Each structure stands twice: as structure tokens, then as C-alpha cells.
Structure 1
Amino acid sequence: MRSNLEGKISVVVGGFSKVGQAIVDRLSAERSVVIAVDEGLAVSAEAASLRAIKRHLLEDLTDVHEVQSTLKQIESTYGKIDILVMAVDFRENSFRANEAGKLKSLLIKNVLPVQLFCHFTVPIMKKRKFGRIIIVNSLKYLGAPRSFGYATAKSALFGLTRALALDVVKDGITVNCVVVGELEELVCVANSEREALLKRIPVGKIGSVNDVGYAVRFLASAESGYITGQLLFVCGGEHIHVSMSA
């Protein structure tokens, strides 16, 4: 059966991270033309072997001119951008709260790329009166120990999603957020800590990056056209313990 993503042009920013790779693979499997964008320093040997994927390496995802130039080049090559997935995730787990430089870095690297790519992609999508923007976020936006700066940055993406959704809804563009909990490929804890972690997750298991790929695929599809400004939690129900309103 033909996929409704066949022939769609998808840009996945942060596409060489483990989560990004899973999204790239899922959209590619649906026959979307996928362009993976990331910073050159962020590309691992594993990511460099991505199959049949167009790649754009930027020196800095927060550089206005570099972002604009990249998106213009993609539009010039493919004539459109249908789907934008922002899978950028910058963490600094060892920072101390009084290290202002690292706090600033967490904000800039997690938020500014999303703002810039959305800002320059929306006009391209408006030309065709169609677009899907999907922002990958972390469950830690709700607050977590030792995540002062990180949670602050991720909370900003919550507001960004809803505000942008309202701004572009009349142009046939939807904007949604996939909120990600613990993932097997990213978890690095001792067995005792793992048991405690599993107790917090109602489904009783840790998720996979593939689960994120499936969620993004749905929000990128034609079937999601009546959904915008929403958060889709991919966390095994963990958010039930911490939020009654999101």
C-alpha cells in the first residue's frame, strides 16, 4: 500500500543523534525524501553510515545565515519542504547551577535552532499551504532533579509549540510536540537505579528510539491534520505521575 508520506520532503534537524536516526529511518521507510541536518561535530561514525539519506552538515545550528542558507538550498533542490522535525537535544549533565555560561549554552543550543529553523521553514511551507512541524522534547521539561538549566530550555519549547501552532494554523501547517521519556538507547544507570526507574513507568519497560520514530511518523502524516498545538507523550505513562494538565 502506498504511504501518504511518499514523495514528501522531510528535514530532520539533529538527524544524526540516536533519536534523530530513528526518525530518519522511519520517514525513509515511508518513502519520504529525508534530508538529515546536524552540526559537523555531532556526527558519529555510526550516523555517517546512514543509508540513502541526504546530509547537510552545519558548523553551527544557531547561526542565522547558515540555517537560512541551508533551507534555501533544500528548497532550491527539491522545490518544497513538507515536514520539519526538530530533534535537537543538547545536554550538560555535570554543570553547576552557578556556572552561568553553561546555563546560557543550554538555552541557546536547545531553543535557538528550533526558533531559527521554524522561522525560515514556515514561509516555504506557506507557499504550498501545507506543512508539518514536529518538535521533539524531553519529559524533563516538567522538572527533574539536577536539570535546572535543561528543564528551563525544554519548557520554552512547550510555549513555542503552542504559539507557533496558532500563528500558522490558517496556512495549512500543524505544529506539535513529541515529549520523550526514558529510552533504552540513552539510559546509562546501575541495575539498582534501573529497578527504581522501571517502577516510575506504568507500562513497566523503558522505551526505544523507534517509539519516537513511530510518533513522529503519525504527526507527519495526513491523518494528523486535525491535530495542532498538542503534546504527544512517548514515555510509557511516566508523565501521569507528574502532570495533571499537560
Structure 2
Amino acid sequence: MDALPGMPFDLSGHVALVTGGNGGLGIGMARGLAAAGARVAIWGRNAERNRAASAELAAGGAEVADFVCDVTDPAEVARAMEETVARFGRLDSCFANAGGSGVRKPFALLSPADWQATLDLNVNSVFHTFQAATKQFLAQKSGGSLVVTSSVAAILGVPGGGYSATKAAVAGFVRSLAVELAPAGIRANAILPGFIETEMSINTPKAFQEACLRRTPSGKLGTVDDMGGAAVFLAGPASRYMTGQTLVIDGGQSIFPM
């Protein structure tokens, strides 16, 4: 194995794609990647939010482009990937971050349509995104890094529909991909955030937020910018011998039972 470069966290020339990169956890990842020198593609469903995120990163000197894409639609994913590669010439890392809480109902009240909607949002979207990125990596013969945003809900019991199930599913998905794609130099890993303050999380019940805080030995909740360092690490050569793994970013919440 070649020696690591002298600056293993320098992503100059690297092209990173972040789905759901126009806010929440995604913008934290995009900020970190841009600060490390990567060229960043942002995918999101809301064109106005996409433009705002791009403008923020560009103001800091980043080369960035945004693309409207609903990652639950494989045709849109294929089109957005084609446009991304046309814009940047290549792809080096893909962060399948877009997702959400899905349908939150007591289990006994979930309909098959509710269950399917949560799967589409958090699992099938990752399948579509990762498959498009993998095809591009294979065409380039360059290897690459696949990273999915899972959740500590993958390892903790969280009530309310299929959310935990979907987040556990994608954590398992990267292990399968890691084994299959390693000969092509493609790595696959998952990030498991704890309670991070985002537009979505701050709308959860106050009692739930307080319970998360009590369980966090660091004594504070995470911010979206806590995602940036992990994104840089997993995108580039610093993590080149890491694949099929889950990286927990939760301030210790998952190990502290109080």
C-alpha cells in the first residue's frame, strides 16, 4: 500500500456529492468537505434551498453546484448524476444523506403504505444513489467512497414506525457493499449521528430532546458542523483502509444509560 500523502485531510481536486446537502446534517458535511478543498455537488428537492446552500459555500471560496433531485425517484437520480459528472468531470465520494423521520405512528396503526413510504425515503433512496455512484466509480476505474447517514436509532430502540428499521438496514447495506466492491477500490461506510440540532430534530417533543441530553455525557447536543470532520475523514485517503464500518457521532449518548 502506498504511503499516505503528507496531508491526508486535504481534498483538493476531490469531487464530493451530498444528497440533502441544502440543510440539516447535509450542509454540515458540505461545509466540512468544502473547507478541506473538495468541489461539492449538492442534491436536494428544493431549488431555493439548494441555491442558498451553494451561495454560502461559494462565498467561502468553494467550487460548488446544486441540482434538484428527488432521490426516491431512480430516473431523477440518474439524471442528476449525469449532470453532476458533466459539471465536474468525475466523482470521488458520495454521501447518501437525504432522508427523514418517515411516517411516525404507533406500530399497530401503521398501514402498508406508511411502511413503504418510510422504506422509500430512507432505504430505497440510498439504493438508487449508491448504485448511480458505483456505476460512475466503475466507469472511472478510480475507486471511491460511499457514505450513508444512518442514525444511533440503528442500535437503540426508538418508537414510532419504521425509522429505526430503515437506519439499521442501511448500516447493514454498507457492510454488504464493502465486501462486494472492495476489489474495485470502492469503500462503503455509515455515519450514525445522535441527536443533532437541525430543523427536523428541534420539532421533536421537548421531553424527547431532554431525554437525549440526559443520556449524553458530554452534556450538550450536537450541531450540524459536528458532521464536517467525519465527512472529510470518510471521503478521502485518511480512511482508505476503513470499509464496512459504522462511525457513531453522538457525544456518547449510545454508551451512557442514564
Please classify the TM superposition score into its range, dividing by the shorter chain length: 0.7 to 0.9
Instruction: Choose 187-196 or 203-212, whichever is displaced more.
Output: 187-196
Relative distance call for 1:116 and 1:80 in structure 2 (3 A) is same
2:148 counterpart letter in structure 1: I
Q: How does 1:192-203 map to 2 (within 5 A)?
A: 194-203=209-218
Aligned length: 241
Is structure 2 residue 117 aligned with structure 1 residue 105?
Answer: yes
Which of 160, 167, 176 is the equivalent residue of 1:147? 160
1:177 counterpart letter in structure 2: A
Aligned to 1:88: 98
Aligned residues of 1:22 and 1:213 also touching (Cα < 8 A): yes
Is structure 2 residue 36 aligned with structure 1 residue 36?
Answer: no
Using the TM superposition, give the Cα deviation of residue 95 of structure 1 relative to its aligned residue in structure 2, in angstroms. Answer: 2.8
Relative distance call for 1:66 and 1:22 in structure 2 (3 A) is same
SS at match of 1:85: strand
> Deviation per CA, 1:108-145, whole angstroms, max 9, x where unpaired?
11111110111111121122332011111111122434
Q: How does 1:210-221 map to 2 (within 5 A)?
A: 210-221=225-236
Could you tell me how far apart the structure 2 residues matched to 1:64 and 1:116 are? Answer: 6
Q: TM-score, normalised by structure 1?
A: 0.88
Q: % of aligned pairs identical?
A: 25
Could you tell me how far apart the structure 1 residues matched to 2:209 and 2:130 are? Answer: 37
Relative distance call for 1:46 and 1:80 in structure 2 (3 A) is closer
Which of 193, 197, 212 is the equivalent residue of 1:180? 193
Is structure 2 residue 66 aligned with structure 1 residue 55?
Answer: yes
In structure 1, the gaps of 5 or more residues are: none
Aligned residues of 2:147 and 2:234 also touching (Cα < 8 A): yes
Give the aligned CA root-mean-square deviation in angstroms: 2.5
SS at match of 1:219: helix
Instruction: Choose 187-196 or 224-233, whichever is displaced more.
Output: 187-196
In structure 2, the gaps of 5 or more residues are: 1-5, 59-63
Could you tell me how far apart the structure 1 residues matched to 2:145 and 2:211 are? Answer: 37
Aligned to 1:23: 29
Could you tell me how far apart the structure 1 residues matched to 2:99 and 2:25 are? Answer: 9
Using the TM superposition, give the Cα deviation of residue 94 of structure 1 relative to its aligned residue in structure 2, in angstroms. Answer: 4.2
Aligned to 1:75: 85
Instruction: Choose 73-82 or 230-239, whichever is displaced more.
Output: 73-82
2:193 counterpart letter in structure 1: V
Aligned residues of 1:16 and 1:42 also touching (Cα < 8 A): no
